[in-house]
Amino acid sequence: MKIKFTVNGKKVVVDCEPSKTLLKVLREDLFLTGTKEGCGKGECGACTVIMDAMAVNSCIIPIGQVAGKSLNTIEGLSKSGELHPLQKAFIEEGAVQCGFCIPGMILSAKALLDINKNPSTNDIKVALSGNLCRCTGYTKIIEAVKKSAIMMRAQR
Ligand code: FES
Ligand code: FES
């Protein structure tokens, strides 16, 4: 079955079973391997992407439900070789260790910052509550999201 949607501003068409997960289509058909597979069951957030402005777990979404939608993945964040403020802040704050959870963390944070330019610590904790990290202990991740919010407000 042919399914059309948009990824990082580009229209794409994939030809596959409609039950194949969005995560597998991103990684295997579109070679966008920045989106990671952790649990594969909708529990860890490693596979988070933004679909029509909502952070979603791509491992539990059949591609048949993605027809006509607009997606953002980690590959689409940098512009003209310049890292997104979230990516810069995560690096500067030392919020990245093994990195496996980070694409999902950053996309959940982006979905928050797109609707809330000045989130409280609690807002950030709620937005990232579905994203598990085994390495960093979350404090630096939350600081990185706060810092990127400041950077993004300064850009506007
Ligand atoms: Fe999708 Fe864990 S891999 S939520
Ligand atoms: Fe390793 Fe989060 S940095 S799981």
**Lookup: tokens for 143:** 């600081």
Q: What percentage of the chain carries pLDDT values higher than 90?
A: 97
pLDDT for the residue numbered 131: 98
Q: What percentage of the chain carries pLDDT values higher than 70?
A: 99
- Residue 134 Cα: closest atom of ligand 2: 4
Q: What pTM value is reported for the model?
A: 0.96
Question: Average pLDDT, stretch 29-53?
Answer: 98
| 47 CA from centroid of ligand 1 (Å) | 5
Q: Which DSSP category does 84 fall into?
A: P
Ligand 2 pocket residue status of 133, Cβ below 6 Å: yes
E strands of the chain, at which residues? 2-7, 10-15, 48-51, 54-57, 70-72
Q: How confident is the model at residue 137 (pLDDT cuts 50, 70, 90)?
A: confident
Q: How confident is the model at residue 138 (pLDDT cuts 50, 70, 90)?
A: very high
Ligand 1 pocket residue status of 37, Cβ below 6 Å: yes
| 59 CA from centroid of ligand 1 (Å) | 5
pLDDT for the residue numbered 16: 95
Question: Average pLDDT, stretch 119-138?
Answer: 96
Residues 33, 45: Cα–Cα separation, whole Å: 15
| 154 CA from centroid of ligand 2 (Å) | 28
Question: Average pLDDT, stretch 126-143?
Answer: 95
> Which ligand places an atom closest to the C-alpha of 96?
2
Sheet with 70-72, strands from edge to edge, namely 10-15, 2-7, 70-72, 48-51, 54-57
The predicted-structure confidence for 59-74, as pLDDT tens digits, reads as follows 999 999 999 999 999 9
The predicted-structure confidence for 2-33, as pLDDT tens digits, reads as follows 999 999 999 999 999 999 999 999 999 999 99
Residue type, 92: E
Question: Average pLDDT, stretch 106-135?
Answer: 97
pLDDT for the residue numbered 64: 97
| 18 CA from centroid of ligand 2 (Å) | 31
> Which ligand places an atom closest to the C-alpha of 48?
1
**Torsion of Cα atoms, 125 then 98 then 47 then 114, to 10°:** 40
Residue type, 42: G
Question: Average pLDDT, stretch 85-104?
Answer: 97
| 76 CA from centroid of ligand 2 (Å) | 21
Q: Within 13 Å and on the Cβ side, how many CA atoms surround 79?
A: 6
Residue located nearest, by CA, to atom 4 of ligand 1: 42
